[in-house]
Amino acid sequence: MDTAQFGKETSRTGEWVRQANRFTDRITADGSSGHRAEPGRYRLVVSLSCPWAHRSIIVRRLLGLDDAISMAVVDPIRDERGWRFTLDPDGRDPVLGIEYLSEAYLAGDPSYSGRVTVPSIVDTHTGKVITNDYPRITLDLSTEWREFHRSDAPDLYPEHLREEIDAVNDPVFRNVNNGVYRCGFATSQEAYEAAYGDLFAELDRLSERLENRRYLVGDTITEADVRLFTTLVRFDAVYHGHFKCNRNKLSEMPVLWAYARDLFQTPGFGETVDFDHIKRHYYVTHEKINPTGIVPAGPDPSGWHTPHGRS
């Protein structure tokens, strides 16, 4: 999700409001949506800096969909035209042949004038964006792409736990995933303090929930853990200082810190984290928050590899 132009999304009371997803078509197993799950047909476009895109990177890796769905990584630094493929030779995505993700947006909707966001899934046959609906993307990877999962893939959205997973995800999205943005992009003291209160109240509730259980729902990793992890892994590097979420660092919250390290050290999680991309995106592109563009040298990431004691 792009977060550069936050000033256009604040309410009269100074509260930041997230832009709705424009492309919400689904890719389904039977193709009833108009888009059938088909290996090699679609390209997942992500930024390694973005927590919303990071969810899809982790889920794709956990399910073994790397060969079925190719992945493009954009430059963590946007310019005036948005997410760009400057990490690739000649500044073009080698599969889609485009320089900017916005080109795929305009192929799908020539009148589109909103922000271009990641993750996005693009149809390689048409060059059009199918979906940028980040909550649905990961759920569909778990359910609609099951035929192409590796044989030992985890069930991240088991049917008998879906109601509980959804119930956990709702306040986590509102108060934590989106809550850190509500803190960082607030333009009034009242809006900031309300978001700050919601954030840390939810983190306290999550600490209590996880004190005597390894994962958020059930006995194995689920979609709920993936969604929380991508915010927690960015907390000390970005949100604590840059977004003023500074009651505590993650490393000062013992239960959540151990839980996050447990996930980080699980195959499919830690190797997908790029702290360089994360820090450069947030500290360089948010000019209203960090006008100097200076990227902090810390924190030391070695702590993520220390024993977590939760197994």
In the chain, domain spans: 6-148, 159-305
Q: How many CB atoms lie within 10 A of CB 223?
A: 26
- Tell me: pLDDT of 32 over 50: yes
Identify the burial level of 185 via C-beta atoms within 10 angstroms of its C-beta, where 0-12 means exposed, 13-18 middle and 19 or more buried: buried
* Residue 304 labelled as part of a binding site: no
3-class SS at 84?
strand
Q: Which of 42, 100, 105, 181 is catalytic?
A: 181
- pLDDT value of position 4: 44
Query: Residue 46 CA to chain centroid, in angstroms?
Result: 9
Burial 62-82 (b: 16+ CB within 10 A, else e): bbbbeebbbbbbbbbbbeeeb
Q: Which of 50, 157, 282, 283 is catalytic?
A: 50
Rounded Cα–Cα distance for residues 170 and 184 (Å): 20
- What average pLDDT does range 17-33 have in this prediction? 93
* Residue 86 labelled as part of a binding site: no
- Tell me: pLDDT of 272 over 60: yes
* Residue 115 labelled as part of a binding site: yes
| Closest to 156 (Cα-Cα) out of 81, 62, 291, 230 | 62
Cis, peptide link before residue 171, omega less than 30° from 0: no
The domain made up of 159-305 is a member of CATH 1.20.1050.10: yes
* Residue 116 labelled as part of a binding site: yes
pLDDT per residue over 194-244, tens digit each?
A: 999 999 999 999 999 999 999 999 999 999 999 999 999 999 999 999 999
| Closest to 54 (Cα-Cα) out of 44, 62, 46, 43 | 46
What's the chain's average pLDDT?
Answer: 95
**Helix or strand (DSSP H, E) at 136:** helix 134-143
CATH number of 6-148: 3.40.30.10
Do 53 and 83 form a contact (C-beta atoms < 8 A)?
A: no
Query: Residue 139 CA to chain centroid, in angstroms?
Result: 13
Does the annotation mark 157 as catalytic?
no
- Tell me: pLDDT of 44 over 60: yes
- Tell me: pLDDT of 3 over 90: no
Q: Kindly state the greatest CA–CA separation across the chain.
A: 53
* Residue 83 labelled as part of a binding site: yes
Does the annotation mark 50 as catalytic?
yes
- pLDDT value of position 7: 43
Alpha helices per DSSP H over 160-307: 162-172, 179-184, 189-210, 223-234, 254-264, 275-285
| Closest to 76 (Cα-Cα) out of 230, 272, 284 | 284
